[in-house]
Chain A
Amino acid sequence: MTTLTQTPVRSGNYAKEDWAALVQIAVEEVFEMMVGGKASMLPEADMGKKDFSAMVGIAGAMCGVLTVAAPAQSARSIAAGMLGSESVDNTSVMDALGEITNMVAGNFKSKILALADGCMLSVPTVVAGADYEMHSLADGYRTQLLFAFREHKFSVTLQLSA
């Protein structure tokens, strides 16, 4: 395992076993710089109910999708942090979650030399509602990390094709 201690982490030739750590760092950097707070990784794997899921597609040298999912209260807290205001409507919540996902995906891929120039990101798609399951055809690699921001949980999932 490569030791990832630099902040911000620079591009490198990281192996696949380092990717979960790179996703974690990508999330932490985005929250610190753009949301105004710390995203702390949690040991548990289950977030429970989610009301919003934002997805960004990755295509090129690596194909897949990065998803950020959150209960309504968490998504609202993230949007409030980004805007510096506690008063946020649903449109802003979805917009904010989409942008966070976009930045995490971009920040992650920029850390892997082989992918930085070889991948494109889609514009974000945000799903609102709790009663759905997501199935990605990118079934080669999957990592899901759970975080807390201001005591509200959210998950980040990276799924890539083989």
Chain B
Amino acid sequence: MKTIRALIVDDSSVMRKIVEKSLRQAGLSLSEVFEAGNGAEGLNVLKDKTVDLILSDINMPAMDGLEFVKQLQLIDSAKNIPVVMITTEASESHVTQALSHGAKGYIRKPFTADQVRDHIMPLLGS
């Protein structure tokens, strides 16, 4: 399996660690993991880091996950990075909005490592 670099965007540092742990349990080989506490911080990370996968919460201060995904589409170097939303907000309207803004997947908290694998592996061509 190829090694990937991931960006995890969540205002909870505990949740960022859980998402990273789940990615590893799902069988992903992570060479680097970058963290950001909201969408604006996530955009800053992408100014000088290259990643293969982004996992983002929706409800965050400063810039929420939906705006973050929308902003990514305006950045040539970032618009093709697969983004998966990981959030408690799993209403149909949130899912529709996230997908229409460019997200490629949606995982509802609470989640298992198997669910993470099922959503993410197809996006990485695995």
Contacts and interface: CB of A to CB of B under 8 A. Distances in A.
Chain A complexes with chain B: yes
Interface of A: 29-30, 33-34, 79, 82-84, 91-92, 95-96, 98-99, 102-103, 105-107, 110, 116-117, 120-121, 123
Given A103-B88, A116-B91, A117-B92, A95 B12 contact: yes
Contact of A99 (B15, B60, B111, B112): B15
22 contacts: A33-B110, A33-B112, A34-B109, A34-B110, A34-B111, A83-B18, A84-B21, A92-B14, A96-B14, A98-B12, A99-B12, A99-B14, A99-B15, A102-B109, A103-B109, A105-B88, A107-B88, A107-B109, A110-B90, A120-B89, A123-B11, A123-B61
A106 B91 CA distance: 10
Chain B contact residues: over half helix, strand or loop, or mixed? loop
Contacts of B100: none
Interface of B: 11-15, 17-18, 21, 59-61, 87-93, 108-112
A102 to B, nearest CB: 5
Contacts of B60: 123
A82 B12 CA distance: 12
A123 B65 CA distance: 13
A106 B21 CA distance: 22
Contacts of A99: 12, 14-15
Contact of B89 (A82, A92, A121): A121
Nearest to A33: B110
Q: Which 4 A-B pairs have the closest CB atoms?
A: A106-B88, A33-B110, A117-B91, A95-B14
A116 B108 CA distance: 12
Among A84, A91, A96, max chain B CB count under 10 A is at A96
A34 B17 CA distance: 12
B12 A106 contact: no
A30 B14 contact: no
B3 to A, nearest CB: 22
A98 B112 CA distance: 19
A40 B14 CA distance: 23
Nearest to B13: A95
Contact of A123 (B59, B90, B110, B112): B59
A99 B18 CA distance: 11
Given A33-B111, A110-B108, A116-B92, 9 more contacts: A29-B110, A83-B18, A95-B14, A106-B90, A106-B108, A117-B91, A120-B89, A121-B89, A123-B11
Given A95-B14, A123-B61, A102 B92 contact: no
A29 B88 CA distance: 13
Nearest to B111: A33
A33 B25 CA distance: 13
Given A82-B14, A83-B17, A106-B88, A117 B61 contact: no
